[in-house]
Amino acid sequence: MTELRTFIAGLPKVELHVHHVGSASPRIVAELAARHEGRSPVPADPQLLADYFVFRDFAHFVELYLSVVDLVRDPEDVWLLTHEVARELARQQVRYAELTVTPYSHVKRGIPAPAFCEAIEDARRRAAADFGVELRWCFDIPGEAGLPAAEETLRICLDESPDGLISFGLGGPEIGVPRPQFKPYFDRARAVGLHSVPHAGETTGPQTVWDALRELGAERIGHGISAAEDPRLLAHLAERQIPLEVCPTSNVRTRAVARIEEHPLPRLIDAGVLVTINSDDPPMFGTTLNDEYAVAADLLDANPPQVANLARNAVTASFLDEAAKRRITAEIDAYLTTHD
């Protein structure tokens, strides 16, 4: 496994399911907590954050996640967070990432939408120059905040329309947050050319995935692991090659899956579903994208060519243009050749 981990560490990658705030490293979370000391329960000591990020269930995870969101108080915080996320992605040989960003959470805490978008855009451009990693945005609705959040998220998309924005999503809890109610917002987002990438089927059953496909026009599904329970849904996803953004460690840490050994990743792959490997909220879950590839490789008993194929899947499932897809795929192929 040591040799495979070394292979994974150097493998060129694309990351499709990673949250903006959820990617804040312990160092950055601690720095933000120190900046706003006394106004947050988040520890200002990186060593204490591992204990802080122990989740009883998905609802507790959302509660702690929002406590970190509370640390992002001004555009300077936004810029720092975004630039540092890119730095960490580049360390893992990520060439391109589609970050899930929740502007509503920051705007309602007092950061004006234009200033928020200006900060992430400036950090995106600097990251490309500094680290060679290209970032794009999925602006997502925090489902727990309901339809007002959907309306505001769509308004920010339409009014600000930052250059890096490519998709429209839906995150937060699935239980008690039906997907169909968000159809009008996804319809309007898709009408202006944004791709549809809602979360579905992580902590709820296959019907949530069906709803995301039928009601929200989903082109990719965030998580989607409960599809493994529905043979008809598996066949549908496989036939149409609708990608799933799978995050194995996240599913265990939020208690969506009881144990990593029980993760449905092998069943999804065996059914012919186009699966991508992602990290979700890596520091909060004590993982990295490299670690997630190693976890996936272990679950699948995969060799380097098979791991490289997972990396190709992410390129295929991305919203990159065809020339960029060919370029990164060629880089993966060349890297594999040097490790034959």
Kindly state the helix (H) or strand (E) to which residue 275 belongs, with its residue range: strand 275-277
DSSP-based three-state secondary structure for 315: helix
Catalytic residue of the set 15, 84, 88, 202: 202
Tokens of 94: 């990520």
Distance of alpha carbon 35 from alpha carbon 126, whole angstroms? 23
31 is catalytic: no
Give the largest CA-CA distance in the chain: 54
CB 15 within 8 A of CB 315: no
Distance of alpha carbon 91 from alpha carbon 24, whole angstroms? 14
Q: What is the DSSP letter of 194?
A: P
Distance of alpha carbon 44 from alpha carbon 61, whole angstroms? 19
Tokens of 327: 């370029």
CB 48 within 8 A of CB 92: no
For the annotated catalytic residues, the residue numbers are 202
